[in-house]
Amino acid sequence: MALTTAGSKLASLNAWVESVAALTEPQQIHWCDGSDAEDQALKILMVERGDLIPLNADSHPNCYLHRSHPSDVARVEHLTFVCPSEQADAGPNNHWMAPAEAHAKIDALFAGCMKGRTLYVVPYCMGPIDSPIARCGVEITDSPYVVANMRLMTRMGAAALARIEREGTFVRGLHSTGDLDPNRRFIMHFPEELMIKSIGSGYGGNALLGKKCHALRIGSYQAKREGWLAEHMLIVGIENPAGETHYIAAAFPSACGKTNLAMLIPPEGYRNQGWKVWTVGDDICWMQQSEDGQLWAINPEAGYFGVAPGTGPKTNPNALAMLNRDAIFTNVGLTADNKPWWEGLDEGQPVTDWQGRAYDPANGPAAHPNARFTVSAKQCPSFSPVAEHAQGVPISAIVFGGRRESLVPLVFEARDWQHGVLVGAAMASETTAAATGAVGVVRRDSMAMKPFCGYNFGDYFSHWLSFDKPGGKLPKIFHVNWFRKGAAGKFLWPGFGDNLRVLEWVIGRCKGTASATATPIGQLPAASDINLSGLNLSAEAMAVLFNVDPEGWHREFEAIKAYLGEYGSHCPQALIDEANLIEAELQALGQEPLRATA
């Protein structure tokens, strides 16, 4: 493949590229333009090198399989650092290293690391190219696999470079696969410099620097400094039979059905009535407040970097439907006729596993549990027609949710914005025996941002509180729990498409048409407030999903206050006061469970 060196009118970008080239010593430099011709040339190069395997051209045209090194299959939290000047600004929620020490440590690994390789300059825009909410970056990498994925995941190429030249500011990201030695692997973030440095990994979250590194860790810092929000949230539009669409932003930790909710297919009864669901984004949400206080949101990403195992015709048919063309698969298995395969598919049988070995169940699953697909968002059948609008979409509701087998009801509404920030700060999941050896250990994951907030969580909570201004039109805040279990250890709520029943109530609360009962933990629906037609829920489910256990919640708030205390003086007193107020109300109730009434 003939690679060319292109120039840029932006002096600071040229100077940075030259300095990186002097450090890393590449054989040549290629400025990416994002064109189809460039993409095809890179894929031909990777096929020739053995980095990509073409899949069945009849069933999966322009689809490829990539196999990463077996030691390089996921994000590495213990090697991920956030490096502001002061350790307190990183907070206990981040690993910190002094900036000078971090630069010296990682630059020593970058020295000469691109000898014999091509240095790719990848200009990209996170968000619609003409959106005022969008922000740009440039990733330098020696991985053509990263270039191909960034083309799917961002608005990459000439248009992004033109915006960077107009604005003169961009996030700098330097990446090299290095020698893939786990002992020489780091992901460093320098928020005060708007810079990311990552070496030793080719895996998406560590190497596609526009994703978690820019869009969340650096993005959250940018958002705090500039007065907006960068969140680990899906964005979904719910259209009712009257043709009204309400947009919901929702934060869930991993393994809580986030992508499934973003691409939800309504139950048959709802579809027959005319309900529709529109996917704006499945992972990241950037929100800015307009002058009237309304939050407007964009999905900064242009594609999906989704987990393949578990994606199937029953769990997420919309996701499955977009994966039969123009996709890159990473660490999945292969069938005899060269089709991608992973656990959760109904059809086909693997003959080769994710490491390229003959499939043997004794060696483990055919697809790595964190196997991925990368695909353009526009291929999703439920892709929203307004997902590319520069202004974004108006958010009616923010939904938080964790995986709680006990205590937490199906859904409740925060009393106001301050209470809602506490609900988000306190959100948690309970571990399982299979994962940790201990059942029911509650792990806090505030706003699902624990691995991704680029600064001190206490300051992050204060930033959220700052949006509550007189006369504002802030969205209502809710908490959901799809994972409540009964005495027999089985889930009480069917989940998946039936979650729309809960979102219908959420939208009704936003419109002022749905009923709720005030409780200390928030506004709670009665079973009769939610459309349960055709579900045949058990008497136990009806009782448990819609109740409040004052004694259990009292213990919960003791734990919440202890958690908030970890952030010391950085934690806003308003959240402590809110927690104390709710705890006092719970104590006044006694021990009898409280149920919402119709």
56 is in an annotated binding site: no
8 token code pair? 């840029």
How do beta strands 171-176 and 195-199 pair? parallel
Angle at CA of residue 500, ends 494 and 505, nearest 5°:
110
Distance CA 165, CA 8 (A): 8
Q: How far is CA 594 from CA 156, 492, 526, in A?
A: 53, 19, 11
Give the type of residue at 219.
G
426 is in an annotated binding site: no
Strand partners, 176: 199
Distance CA 571, CA 457 (A): 8
CB atoms within 10 A of CB 225: 13
Is the Cβ–Cβ distance between 372 and 306 less than 8 Å?
Answer: yes
203 is in an annotated binding site: yes
Is the Cβ–Cβ distance between 328 and 152 less than 8 Å?
Answer: yes
283 is in an annotated binding site: yes
2 is in an annotated binding site: no
357 is in an annotated binding site: no
Handedness of CA 542, 547, 552, 557 (dihedral sign): positive
63 is in an annotated binding site: no
212 is in an annotated binding site: yes
497 is in an annotated binding site: yes
Buried b (16+ CB within 10 A) or exposed e, 396-416: bbbbbbbbbbebbbbbbbbbe
Is the Cβ–Cβ distance between 424 and 251 less than 8 Å?
Answer: yes
200 token code pair? 């030793």
Q: 256, 285, 453, 571: which is the annotated catalytic residue?
A: 256
Strand partners, 185: none
384 is in an annotated binding site: no
Distance CA 425, CA 565 (A): 12
205 is in an annotated binding site: yes
Helices (H), 63-176: 87-90, 99-110, 144-153, 158-167
Distance CA 410, CA 423 (A): 14
94 is in an annotated binding site: no
Instruction: Say whether 421 sits in a helix, a strand or coil.
Output: helix
Angle at CA of residue 225, ends 222 and 227, nearest 5°:
95
259 is in an annotated binding site: yes
33 is in an annotated binding site: no
Distance CA 494, CA 567 (A): 37
For the chain, the 3-state helix, strand and coil shares in percent, each to the nearest 5, are 35, 25, 45
359 is in an annotated binding site: no
Is the Cβ–Cβ distance between 369 and 356 less than 8 Å?
Answer: no
Distance CA 263, CA 257 (A): 10
14 is in an annotated binding site: no
552 is in an annotated binding site: no
7 is in an annotated binding site: no
Burial class (CB in 10 A: 0-12, 13-18, 19+), 576: middle
To 10 degrees, the CA torsion angle through 174, 176, 178, 183?
60
DSSP character at residue 132: T
**Closest CA relative to residue 578, chosen from 509, 520, 517, 518:** 520
Give the type of residue at 172.
R
Distance CA 576, CA 81 (A): 28
166 is in an annotated binding site: no
370 is in an annotated binding site: yes
499 is in an annotated binding site: yes
206 is in an annotated binding site: no
How do beta strands 295-298 and 393-401 pair? antiparallel
**Is 453 among the residues known to form the active site?**
no
Annotated binding site for GTP: 255-260, 372, 403, 496-499
Annotated binding site: 75, 203-205, 212, 232, 254-260, 283, 370-372, 403, 496-499
Annotated binding site for substrate: 75, 203-205, 254, 370-372
Annotated binding site for Mn(2+): 212, 232, 283
Known catalytic residues?
A: 256
